[in-house]
Amino acid sequence: MGEEGDGRVAGVDRDWLGRVLDTVRELGGLTDLAPTLDAVVRGVCDVGGFGSAAINVTDADGSVVVRAVCGGAESLLGEQASLDTWLDLLDHASRWRDLRYYRHDHDQSRVAQLATWDPPRHEAADGAVADGPTDPWHPEDLLLAPMWAPDGSLIGVVSVDEPAGRRFPGPEQLTILGLLAAQAGRAISAAAREASSDDRASLFGAAFECAATGMAIVGSDLEVVALNDAGRALLGVAAAGDLVGEPFAGLVDGRDAEEVEGACRDALRSSHLRPTVECRLPSGPGESRWVRARVARVDSTLHRARLVLNLEDVTDSRRAMAELQHQANHDMLTGLPNRRLAYDLLDQQLASVPADRAVVVLACDLDGFKAVNDRLGHATGDELLVQVSRRLTNALSDGDVLARMGGDEFVVVSTVHRDRDGVGEQLAQRCIDRIRAPFALTAATCSVTLSVGVATSDHASDLDAAGLIDQADQALYGAKAAGRDRWAAHPASPARAGRPAAPDAGAQPRRARYLA
């Protein structure tokens, strides 16, 4: 590049070029909006060669406000006009590359609502109209640099006046004006994005602290970053900094820690995953609260991925659900498992019983219950059933199951060793003996007895719960037919010694009453 004797480099004034570069460097080091706009407007005046300039910025409410000025136009700061006024003016102005030029002889009603100032004025040539760089500049001409957002909305406008030599700006001035206006536009857009981000952060912060449900922020290392008030209450802590830095999975019941940690790691792997897990949070010695944790990943430009956990206390709903489930599977009068649960439990035992053990089912029916019920009333009958259930429960061993099948019928399920003959029958006799003692009821003292049918599973058999209960029920019919107050074993059960009663060979087994 050649250097000319008048201080110009390849046709460009070297001093002017240095000032341009200095302005660009200054703008590159600025991050805040106000200093950036001040630097831009000074650059327009000092480097661009304009006597005055103003930067008009579109606010969120739709007005266009003067935010920065140079050249003694301080009185314009804060002045505003409507966005529609500016858009109409720009639409009717002539285009000079990305700039707009509105001549003084155009309709002045479009500029009547714009803020004006009174700088020192110079006489314009008679009838002069600026059509190019060599033409005079009229004091009422407008040269504007609009700044547009990517979506086509107007960010703002840089307006200038009093170009050097009072003539229409040359190419260098127009280039600098466009360059600095673009820089101002980028600064305004960045500030708007930052303000929007700050607003979102403020809104999230307010929602986080005021949320009625517990919330926790967890880092990528799965350690607690923050807890809101409701979250601290769930975890039984008071101070905001309590538990910060602790592994979140370490705060839950040890039985649930692995599942909670797995849900968090799943969410970290993909922002599309929003796993939900229910866990227990210790709330006191031997006590805990059930919490449903919904986990979502949040990405940040300042931090690695973080997790937001919404913690909903579901203790009461789980308790209510458990109560409904209990009611669906248990007898309301005695609290024992009902027929449905008895079948389920028996099927589970049959499916998991080892080869060296057998499942014994006792079908139990009270003898004389109808007479008590008819003579003393249903309330007394119910009282008797409750006391019967207690005596039968006391006759059983750990792991045995007693269920009420309906009316005065009960079933006992027990698992016994195959090499111990008569264990099921011994259990049946123990139950019979417990029932023989008189019952002291509110209305009277009465006595009933118990008949029991015994059926034992064969490991090679494919009997299910219904089939085994049906066998026990048929054996019960034999005990009833043999005189009651005794037990009888089903003939298909493995051989047992000492059966005191058996069905008559010609008797027809009754239909099982335990089947729907």
* Digit-coded pLDDT (tens) for 214-225: 888 888 889 988
Residue 21's pLDDT band (cuts 50, 70, 90): low
Alpha carbons 446 and 164: distance in angstroms, whole number: 122
Give the integer Cα–Cα distance in Å for 1 and 101.
34
Assigned token pair, 260 = 């909670």
Mean local confidence (pLDDT), 118-137: 51
Q: Is the per-residue pLDDT at 480 higher than 70? A: yes
Among 10-24, 27-41, 244-258, 362-376, where is mean pLDDT lowest? 10-24
Q: Is residue 301 predicted with pLDDT exceeding 70?
A: no
Measured distance CA(452)–CA(432) in Å, rounded: 8
Mean pLDDT of the chain: 81
Task: Kindly report the CATH class assigned to 211-315.
Answer: alpha beta
Q: DSSP 3-state helix, strand, coil percentages of the chain (rounded to 5)?
A: 40, 25, 35
Judge contact between 441 and 383, C-beta under 8 A. yes
Confidence category of residue 302, pLDDT binned at 50, 70, 90: low
In single-letter form, the type of residue at position 352 comes to S
Please give the pLDDT value at position 407.
94
8 A C-beta contact, residue 279 and residue 293: yes
Q: Which CATH number fits domain 8-195: 3.20.20.140, 3.30.450.40, 2.30.110.10, 3.10.50.40?
A: 3.30.450.40
**Pairing between β-strand 12-13 and β-strand 50-58 as defined by DSSP bridges:** unpaired
* Active site (catalytic) residues: 408
Report the sign of the C-alpha dihedral through residues 107, 109, 115, 119, in that order. positive
Q: Residue count of the chain, please give it.
A: 516
381 compared with 74, residue with greater pLDDT: 381
According to CATH, the topology of domain 330-489 is: Alpha-Beta Plaits (3.30.70)
Confidence of residue 197 (pLDDT cuts 50, 70, 90): low
Torsion of CA 238, 241, 243, 244, to 10 degrees: 160
Task: Give me Rg for the CA atoms of the chain.
Answer: 46
Tell me what the mean pLDDT of segment 296-313 comes to.
79
Helices (H) and strands (E) in the chain, counts: 12, 21
Domain locations in the chain? 8-195, 211-315, 330-489
Integer Cα distance of 263 and 245 in angstroms: 19
Residue of 311, 314, 294, 319 whose CA lies nearest to 212? 311
* CA angle (287 as vertex; 285, 292 as ends), nearest 5: 140
Give the span between the Cα atoms of 450 and 28, in whole angstroms. Answer: 97
- Of the candidates 206, 203, 210, 216, the residue with the CA atom closest to the CA atom of residue 311: 216
Q: Do domains 8-195 and 211-315 have the same CATH topology?
A: yes
With CA atoms as reference, report the closest residue to 42 among 165, 184, 171. Answer: 184
Return the higher-pLDDT residue of 347 and 181: 347
| Low-confidence winner among 35-49, 74-88, 445-459, 493-507 (lowest mean pLDDT) | 493-507
Phi, psi of 24 (to 5 degrees): -65, -40
- Residues 355-404 have pLDDT tens digits of 888 899 999 999 999 999 999 999 999 999 999 999 999 999 999 999 99
Strands 99-102 and 8-9 come out as unpaired
Q: Percent of the chain scored above 70 by pLDDT?
A: 80
**Banded pLDDT at 413 (limits 50, 70, 90):** very high
